[in-house]
Structures are given as structure tokens and as C-alpha cells.
Structure 1
Amino acid sequence: MESRNYSLISSYINIALYIFTVICTSACEIMPSIDKLPIHEALEIRAFICLTDASSNLCNGSSNSTESEVSLSPVTGLTATPSSIFVRLQWTNSTEPSVSGVKILRKLGAFPESANDASATEVYTGSNSEFLDSGLTSSTSYFYSVYSTNTAGAFSQASQVTTTTNASGGIDPSFNQGTGAIGGAILSAILQPDEKIVVGGDFTTYNGVSRSRVARILVDGALDTSFDPGTGTNSRASALDITSDGKIYIGDNFTLYNGVTRNGLARLLPNGDLDLTFDPLLGPDNRIRAAGLQSNGKLIIGGMFLNYNGTPVNRIARVNTDGSIDPTFMIGTGANALIRDIYVMPDDKIWISGDFNSFNGSAKPYINRLMPDGSNDPSFTPGGGPNSTVTSQCFLSDGSSIISGIFNTVSGTPRLNLAKLTPNGALDPSFDPGTGLGGSTFINCLELPDKTIFGVGTFTTYNGQTRNRVVKILPSGAIDPSFNPISGASGEVARVFFTSTGKLVITGSLTSYDGATVNRITRIFP
């Protein structure tokens, strides 16, 4: 009898186990992950399922994507801000203790199907709350999935966003300069750390508000009314540089700022007031064309002047923070002709370019590099150098530089108005612009994050192709065909800045861009 009862009970148990297994097998497709349960309960369920079905995913270490993508809290607030060449993703990370970071997948045409979608591109893994996805193609739609992750390799459900990169070369319609600068050109500009732009030139109003030759522009293109220069300058002003505490140097051929005598050089407070602690007295006896700050806060100035406050300086000088000349700047006889451009390097050495062919008695054809104290840098060896004037120079992340001017050879090698130099000043033959800038020049250029080079100036062609005063070129020197400005700028473009939004602000004498009225300033997609 006992044997029969035992057999009957055993049968009931087997039937119950079979029913539970069937129910669990279907329910596991929709039940929450057992990882969310207290550990003792999770272990009991895992042990039971393995006892009844050794082939279960929970026994062999694998899991389907649906289970792995619901066990963690997802990121929130995901946004995508496109440029023509990159997308900036921003989000708020989960505060769940077990979350260790995020994984981002990118795909064309559709969102990634799971965190392990082999057809998608993994673009980021880490713990930041922002990522810049660069090297993208303009006018293209991209689909992103962002997953919270933990150290065990589990993923949250995807937070998703899609965006389309902008057309390269087009105007950014969100930049609202209104009527822009009237009365003259914006010939110089400084990008502040907060991306406001201090501009100088010949203009007298900005978007209908009186601003005599000096103004500050907000990020969106509107006039910054918190910066008030009063009556401004009585002649052309050039924005030269900005100090670490936000003070602004301006220079050129003015003699007054807001009614106070300042001969060709002044320093402004961040609100536009004149800084009375800086007084150049007689100042330079002719125009300042370029300037740059050294790490000690002293200002290097260059241009057409021969004297500063009565002291012979021959076109270059170093000015103390109070406006007096620094007698320890050892330039000797200086430059024998105009200095057009100055760049102070991170190590305080000084690149200069212009019409000169000697510096302090040494042959220096149109370009030179000085030591921080103003003496010639013996490590600068440009060989024969360019055969005529260098009007501008810009520096690349590898220490090399792009020079432009009215030359047609560099060290005997044909280079029409444009060339690349190595860090020691020699011609870099790997950069070949072909027929170059068609008899005109860059006034300003910069390196973009994808290592292409954006140049602006007075040119209308590049290597035989129409490019009206704006052009993007590849690291090889060839034109970048992805950038199409259509009719481009109607007049000279003097300055260009790359902003954190991946857009370019250009200024100059242009009154239209690609047929749209812009009046000396606009923002475009690179």
C-alpha cells in the first residue's frame, strides 16, 4: 500500500513539474528578468529551470536580446544636434547604481534592432553624457540607439533619436543678424570662450543700433547690448585679442575711443568700457595690422609703424599690461617692411609674415619665427621660402602651417598663392593645391575637426574651380567636393570661426551669401 501511495505521489509531482516547466517556458518570454529579483529567489528559480530543462538560456549563459534590454534603466533626455559633418548627442545618464555607462550604435535607414545589432556601427562606449559623432556625410539621415550598460554586459531598452546632417555650404537660418553691419565692413573678429564674437571694422550700426566700429555679437547673431562702446572709435578699429579675464585689445588708426584719446591701441573692459589702466600714450605712429598675446599677458603687435611712444621699433613691439613698451623684447633692427600677420604659439614663439625679406639684419623672406624674447629662432629653417609677400598664415594640429600670399614659388617649387610648411618652415610637398587661388589670397583659414582646411579671402577660384571667397580643401590640398557654397560670398571674407555647434561664422565686406542678404556676417554649415 505504501509503495502504491509513493508511486501515486511521485506521478503527481512529475505532472506538476511538467506543467510548471511549460508555463515558465512561455512566461519567461514576457516576465521581467530574474536579475531584478532578490538573489536567493533568482537562484532558486534558475536552479529549478535548469533541473527541468538543461537547455534553457538561463543554464547555458545566453539570453535573448529582449531579456537583456529591459534589466537596466535607460538614459533620458536624448537629443541630437546636427552639423554638416558631425552630430552632437547629449543625454542624462541613469542614476541606477548598477549602471556603469552607455553604448551608442549608429545606423543608416533604420534604428539598430538591438544592442548587439551587427549591422550597426558602435560609435561610443563610456560614461560621459555627451558625444560628438564626427566624420559624417552632409545631407544624410542617421539613426542612433543609446543603451545603459553594466559590468555584466546587460543593456537597458534603447533610447533612440534620428537626425539629418545639414547641407554643406548652406546658410544656417537660425543665425539672426537682422540687418547686420551697415556703413562698412567687419574686417576683424575675436571668438570669446563663451562664443560671443567681438567685431571691429568700418561699420557704424549693427541691426539698426549705433555701434561705431566696435560691437559684440551673441551666439545667435543678435547684438549683445551688454557690451556698449559708447561713441566707439573715430576711425577703423580692428579687434586684436582677448585676455584670460575677458579684456579686449583693439587697434588700427583711430585716435579716440568713446571720446578719450587712445592712439591706435586700446584695451576694453568686458562690458565695452575703456580700461583706463592701459594707456599707450603716443602709441604706434602708424597702423597695427596684427597682434597676439603671450602667456605672460604681454601683447605682441605688428604692422606699419616705426615707433611706439617715441621709441624706434621697426614694425614689431611687445607692450606691457599697462600700455608701456617692453624694452626686454630683443628685435634689434626689426623687420625691413610691413608685418601683416602674427601668430603666438603655445610655447610663446612668434610667427610673423608680410612684405619683409630681412629681420634684424638676417635674410628672412616674407616669413619668420622669433623666440619668445624677439630674437630670431635658429631652428626655423624655411630654405629659400616664398618668393613674395605672405599675407596670412594658419596653424594645424600637427604643428604645420598653411601660408597664403602673392607668391608663385616656395623654395623653388611652384605654389600659386598657397602652400603648406612643416613645423620648421620648410615646404611640405605632400600638400599640392594645383593652380591654387587664381591670383588672389586667403585672408584667414582654420583646420576643421575632420582635418579638412577651411579658407576665406578674396579669391574666386581654387585649382580652376569656382569658389567665391570660401573653400574647403582636403589635407592633400585638393578641393573638397562635398562643400558647395553655390554662388558663395559677394565680397571679401576676412575672418572665419568654427563653433561648438559645428558651424562656421564668417565676416567681411560681403553683403550676400549664395544670393541671400547677410550684410557682413553670417553662419554657414561646413
Structure 2
Amino acid sequence: MKRMKLTNKLFVMFVLSSVISCSNKIEYGPDPYAGGKEPLDVVFQEGTPSPSQAKVGSTVVFKVNGLLKYKDQIKFYINNVESDIVDITDSTLTSVVSENTSTGGVKAVVNGQVFAGPNLPIIGKLGIDLTFQSGVGSNGPLFSIAKFSNNQIFIGGMFSDYNGNGASSKISGLARITNAGEFVRGMKFGQGVTGNVNSMNELNDGNILISGGFQRYDTVSMIKNMTTISSVGALLVKSTPILNLTDDPNKSNIIVPAFNGGSETSILKTFVQNNKVTIVGGFKTYSSNYYARSTYDNILTDFFGMNGVIRMNMDGSLDSTYFVDHKSIPKRSYAGVNGSIFDAHLQSDGKLVLVGVFSNFNGSNAANGIVRLKDDGTFDSSFQTGSGANGTVFDISYVKETKKYILTGNFTSFNGVPTNGIVVINLDGSVDKSFQSKGFTGGNPSYAVQLSNGLIVVTGTFKTYDNIIREGLLVLNADGTLAQDYNNTGRLVGTVNDSLEGTNSLGQRTLTLVGGFTSFNGKSNLGNIVRLTILD
């Protein structure tokens, strides 16, 4: 299989996650039995506690032998949060679930010796949606999820199977699923993409623009990492005249992708607005097929230098009025940022916000991790970010209801204001001081989305927030405090790349997460997709 490059953002998150994982290897410490210590006869019995799941403040009985003789020397923990012990017999321990406890394993500590017990699910307003039938999910990372007309839900990424359907249906980078998470058969993806799909946009005519890292769709090449497909997944093509140097009249025209344009390397994100297509990524050139001088056996490619940002017309042709320095001779692209773009957002007024790891735009405009471009691609000095972020910005999320942005990353301040990995900024770039981060340890937040009810879901590699154990996923109020009753779930292992808010068949609010993760809340083999229920 041909190896494909991931986007800059995903690659850096993978590296950082690996570093963090390496730095958090299990430290066993000194031998607890050294110095003449005898192993204790404490054993958790098989079986679930009673009740098998519990709310904060409720009493739970655990089956464990041998603790009675040590009753004055015991500490008891649920997911590393100490819980009060209310009763001990020779075969049971009864404890009250403490505030801020989340789903996780229990343990008893006696004179420095640790005895691991069962997992205890904590009941709250957040949980895994059991009506979502994704099964084992995908066998590779998912980079995007989108809901289009007629309630069509598409997932894009770098995968060849979804819930075991790859054996009977060809799957490669794209799939359609129902609102219940089931695989939809009968689509016309053909061989799919030879690579990965990072971004998907529905067009006014109901067709779909996909982009990412691929040079072929189904059996058709001549694709520049983006193309258009129908609502049922068939590649949109057209017949175009070419140079015929033979006597064969059949070689005067060729069937080609309808969308003719893109970049020479992978595209991170794509936006469609006002009959224009804007793409961002780590590319250095715009490219298109030059059919007028091509022959049936030799398709020529036209190039134009474009540094990280390109705007095109709806047929893929370059919009040379955008992000191009018309004062230069010959005309050329602006220099752009002096680093990497990890995420972007296109405002309704045509202004484009870029985030990542960089310090300037066009070599002269200060832009520490964030910059906004005007609707012609020039630097927007009205965006009041000041000194910006003092580290990398991984993700930007726009909130329609508040007209504000949420940024996450490994920064600790933004324009001089302490932020500790997450900050909310106003549309003019100034810090919204009504939101205050309480701080992360053990890693960084890498993705955040604010729901329509105002709650903010944050994911990443962190272990705690506000010194409270929240491993990989947490839910905040709009002011940055932990949302009561919504932080009951256990550890998320992996990276979230995209999400989709919706409702399930029971009318409950849901949030579907996709990315590169294996387990959440004690459930393994999720296959990079899981849907949460968020009770109001």
C-alpha cells in the first residue's frame, strides 16, 4: 500500500502525543515488599460492585476479602479520586462516590501496597450513545464528518473498512453512514481515493467537493488532491478536447474530472463560499491540467506558486485576484506564514483565519500562531491579536451563536493574558476574559467545540483540568469551569479530529466524534468513531 502523508496538524499532534505517552510510562517505584514486608492477603473478588454503576454521592459496595484487619490503614480510590469508606467487613468495602469522580478503576491502598479492583462507571449527563451502531468503526483514522442534504452523513479519512463491511463493499477513504451509525450500501464510490480525505463540502447543486491527499478517484487519475463527486459518490467527469497528433479521431477528446485544479501536495481544509473555493495546507503550488496542449497519452500540468492558501473558481481554475502580489513582476503568491498551518476558518465576510506554528505573515507582519486575511488575501491589521499565542495553536473553532473563536494548543498565554492551553477570542481578535482556563496537566488540549446549548467539549492528551482528573475529554461551561454532572466519563485514548452535533432516535442531544482513537469510557475497539449523548 502506498504510504500517504498526514496533514501537518495531525502529524504534530501524533508526535506530541507520542512524546507525552513516553513521558508517562508506568513508574512502579520501589518494591513494596522490600525490607522484609510480607504480601497482604487482600483480594478483590470477581463480579461487579453493587450497584454496578453509581452517581456522585451514592454508596457502593465492593466485594473484597482481607481488609477488615487493616481497616485503620486503608485508603480507597475510584479513578484515583479518594473516596470515603463508610464500612468494612472481611468480605466487603462500602464507599461513597466523592465529588469530581469519573469512570475508572478502583483500588485499595494498604501500607503502600496497591490492590486493583473492578471498573466503576459513574452516571452523569454525558455518556456513550448505545443507539449508535458503528460497531468496530473504521480500520484507519477519520479526519472529517459532515451532514449534507437529505440527512446524508459522510465520513472521510484514511481507511478501507467500516464495521466489517470492507469484505463486501469497496471502501477507501470515504463512506456514508446513517444517523444511527450504520454503513450505507449502494454508493458509487468505486475504488474510492488512493490516499486520504481531509475535508468535505456540499455544493449548491447538491454535489460534494472532497479534498485531502489523493491523486486518483475510483479508476480516474488527473486529480490534484481534490475533486467533485455526486451525492451518491460518483466522480463528476466531462469530455474535453485535446491535441490529437494521430489519425485516430477517438483521441481528439478525453474524459476528465469536471473539477480541474488543486495543489501538488495534501490539502488540509477546504471552504466553499460565494462561488469560490478556498483551500489551505502545506503546499507551495497551485496545479491544474493543461488540456489545450495535452495529448491522449500525455497530460500536461500547469503550475503557479501559491504558499499555503489558494482560492479557485468553481471549476477549479485559479482566482488570481486572491493572495497574489500584483506589484511583483512577474506576479507571484504572497509569502504567507513562515511556518505550518494546522487549522483555519473562513468567515462569512470572506476573511480567512489561519492558526498553527508561525511568527509572521509575508515576512513583516507579526502573527504568532494566528493571522487573519482580508477577502483579497492580504494581511488584516484590524484583527487585534497583539502578541498572539506564545506556543502552537492546534485548532480553531468558530461559534455561530456567540460569534467568537475557541483556540486550543500548547500555549500558556495569548496577547499577554494567561490562557493555559485554551482561550476564547472575540471576532476582532481580542481575548474574551469572561472565559478563563483553569489549566491542564499531563498534556495539551487539541480540539474544542461549543455545542448549541453553550457547553464546550474539549479533547486532547491532558490528564487533569483544574487539578481534577479528566483524561482526554472534558466538558466546560462557557466561563471555563467544569460543567457539573457532565464530567463523569472515563479516559479517551487518542486524537479527535472532527465532530458533528445532532440528535438520536430518542430525541437526545448527541455529539459524534471522529479521529484516531481506540477507547473511551472503558469501551475499547471503537474504531475511531463514537457518539456521545449530552442530556439537557
Fold-level match, TM-score > 0.5?
yes
Preserved contact between residue 215 and residue 228 of structure 1 (Cα < 8 Å)? no
* Cα offset, 1:474, TM superposition: 0.7
- Distance in 2 (alpha carbons) for counterparts of 1:521 and 1:224: 16
* CA spacing shift, 1:509–1:485, aligned 2, 3 Å: farther
Structure 2 residue 343 is the aligned partner of structure 1 residue 311 = no
1:244 pairs, out of 188, 201, 204, with: 204
What letter corresponds to residue 521 of structure 1 in structure 2? I
Pair 1:298 & 2:279 matched = no
Aligned partner of 1:217 among 177, 184, 196: 177
Task: Using the TM superposition, give the Cα deviation of residue 437 of structure 1 relative to its aligned residue in structure 2, in angstroms.
Answer: 6.2
Question: What is the one-letter code of the residue matched to 1:235?
Answer: G
Deviation (angstroms), 1:515: 2.1
1:386: Cα distance to partner?
0.6
- CA distance in 2 between partners of 1:226 and 1:323 (Å): 28
In the other structure, the counterpart of 2:353 is 351
Question: What is the match of residue 416 of structure 2?
Answer: 412
Contact 2:309 2:323 in 1 (8 A): no
Q: Distance in 2 between matches of 1:322 and 1:205?
A: 31
RMSD: 2.1
Q: Identify if the C-alpha distance between structure 1 residues 493 and 400 changes in structure 2 by more than 3 Å, giving closer, same or farther.
A: same
Partner of 2:65: none
Q: Which amino acid aligns with 1:267?
A: T
CA contact (8 A) 1:341 1:391 kept: yes
Structure 2 residue 321 is the aligned partner of structure 1 residue 328: yes
Q: Contact 1:382/1:425 (CA < 8 Å) preserved in 2?
A: yes
Matched, 1:365 2:368: yes
Aligned residue number for residue 218 of structure 2: 258
Partner Cα separation in structure 1 for residue 485 and residue 395 of structure 2? 25
Instruction: Trace 1:29-68 onto structure 2 (pairs within 5 A).
Output: none
- 514, 517, 521: which one aligns with 1:514: 521
Q: 1:283 deviation in Å?
A: 3.1
Give the CA deviation at 1:226.
4.0
1-structure distance, mates of 2:150, 2:522: 30
Q: Which residue of 2 aligns with 1:338?
A: 340
Larger strand share, 1 or 2: 2
Distance in 2 (alpha carbons) for counterparts of 1:275 and 1:468: 44
Aligned to 1:505: 512
- Could you list the structure 1 runs, at least 4 aligned residues long, displaced by more than 4 angstroms after superposition: 277-282
Aligned equivalents of 1:394, 1:492: Cα separation in 2: 16
Match of 1:170 among 127, 139, 142: 127
Say whether the 8 Å CA contact 1:456–1:495 is kept in structure 2: no
What does 1:45-444 correspond to in 2, within 5 Å? 167-182=124-139, 184-210=140-166, 211-261=171-221, 262-276=223-237, 283-294=262-273, 296-309=274-287, 310-331=303-324, 332-361=334-363, 362-396=365-399, 397-436=401-440, 438-443=442-447
CA distance in 1, matches of 2:375, 2:398: 18
The residue matched to 1:343 in structure 2 has which SS?
strand
1:480 equivalent in alignment to 2:483: yes
Shift of 1:485: 4.6
Report deviation, 1:317.
Answer: 0.6
AA partner of residue 459 (structure 2): V
| Structure 2: 5+ residue stretches without partners | 1-122, 239-256, 288-302, 325-333
Q: Residues 228 and 259 of structure 2 are in contact (CA less than 8 Å); yes or no, is this contact kept in structure 1?
A: no
State whether residues 239 and 248 of structure 1, in contact with CA within 8 Å, keep that contact through their aligned partners in structure 2: no
Please give the TM-score of this superposition, normalised by the length of structure 1. 0.64
Task: Decide whether the 8 Å contact of 1:416 with 1:438 is kept in 2.
Answer: no
Measured in 1, the distance between the counterparts of 2:468 and 2:203 equals: 40
Deviation larger for 275-284 or 316-325: 275-284
Q: Quick check: 1:202–1:213 contact (8 Å CA) kept in 2?
A: yes
Q: Is the 8 A contact 2:215 2:224 kept in 1?
A: yes
Compute the displacement of 1:306 (Å).
Answer: 0.6
SS at match of 1:351: strand
- Cα deviation for residue 357 of structure 1 reads 2.1
Q: Distance in 2 between matches of 1:178 and 1:403?
A: 32
| DSSP 3-state at the match of 2:193 | coil
Mapped contact 1:253–1:288 kept (Cα < 8 A): yes
Alpha-carbon spacing, 1:485–1:508, altered in 2? closer, same or farther (3 Å):
farther
Partner deviation per Cα, 1:424-450 (whole Å, 9 max, x = no partner)? 11122221112136432223x322232
Aligned partners of 2:208, 2:462: CA distance in 1, in Å? Answer: 30
The answer to whether the 8 Å contact 2:131/2:180 transfers is yes
- The 1:485–1:229 alpha-carbon spacing in structure 2 relative to 1, beyond 3 Å, is farther
Larger relative contact order (Cα-Cα within 8 Å, sequence gap ≥ 6): 2
CA positional deviation for 1:195: 4.0
1:216-258, CA deviations, whole angstroms, 9 ceiling, x for partnerless residues?
Answer: 1111101122433111111122133222333222222221111
On the 8 A contact 2:517/2:526 being kept in 1, the answer is yes
Deviations 1:15-61 (A, max 9, x none): xxxxxxxxxxxxxxxxxxxxxxxxxxxxxxxxxxxxxxxxxxxxxxx
Alpha-carbon deviation of 1:335? Answer: 2.4
Matches of 2:147 and 2:446, distance apart in 1: 19
Kindly indicate whether the alpha-carbon contact (under 8 Å) linking 1:198 and 1:239 is maintained by their aligned counterparts in 2: no
In the alignment of these two chains, the number of paired residues is: 358
Contact 1:288 1:303 in 2 (8 A): yes
**How far apart, in 2, do the equivalents of 1:457 and 1:275 lie?**
38
Distance in 2 of aligned mates of 1:264 and 1:218: 27
Q: Tell me if the contact between 2:229 and 2:235 (Cα under 8 Å) persists in the aligned partners.
A: yes
Superposed displacement of residue 380, structure 1: 1.0
Could you say what secondary structure the match of 1:189 adopts?
A: strand
TM-score, L = length of structure 2: 0.63
Task: Work out which of the two has the higher radius of gyration on C-alpha atoms and give 1 or 2.
Answer: 1
1:525 alignment partner, SS class: strand
Contact 2:499 2:511 in 1 (8 A): yes
Deviation at 1:359, TM superposition (A): 2.0
Specify whether residues 495 and 430 from structure 1 end up closer, same or farther in structure 2 by C-alpha distance, changes over 3 A only: same
CA contact (8 A) 2:124 2:488 kept: no
* Whole-angstrom distance in 1 between the partners of 2:206 and 2:339: 32
The reply on whether 1:491 has 2:498 as its aligned counterpart is no
* Per-residue Cα deviation, 1:300-322 (whole angstroms, up to 9, x for no partner): 11111011111111001112211
- Asked whether the 8 Å contact 1:439–1:459 carries over to 2, the reply is yes
Q: Answer yes or no: is the 8 Å Cα contact 2:440–2:463 preserved in 1.
A: no
The amino acid of 2:415's aligned partner reads: S
One-letter identity of the residue aligned with 2:493:
S
1:483 positional shift: 1.0
Unaligned runs of 5+ in 1: 1-165
Q: Deviations over 1:431-489 (max 9, x none)?
A: 1112136432223x322232121223443433332333322111111111321352232
Aligned equivalents of 2:317, 2:403: Cα separation in 1: 32
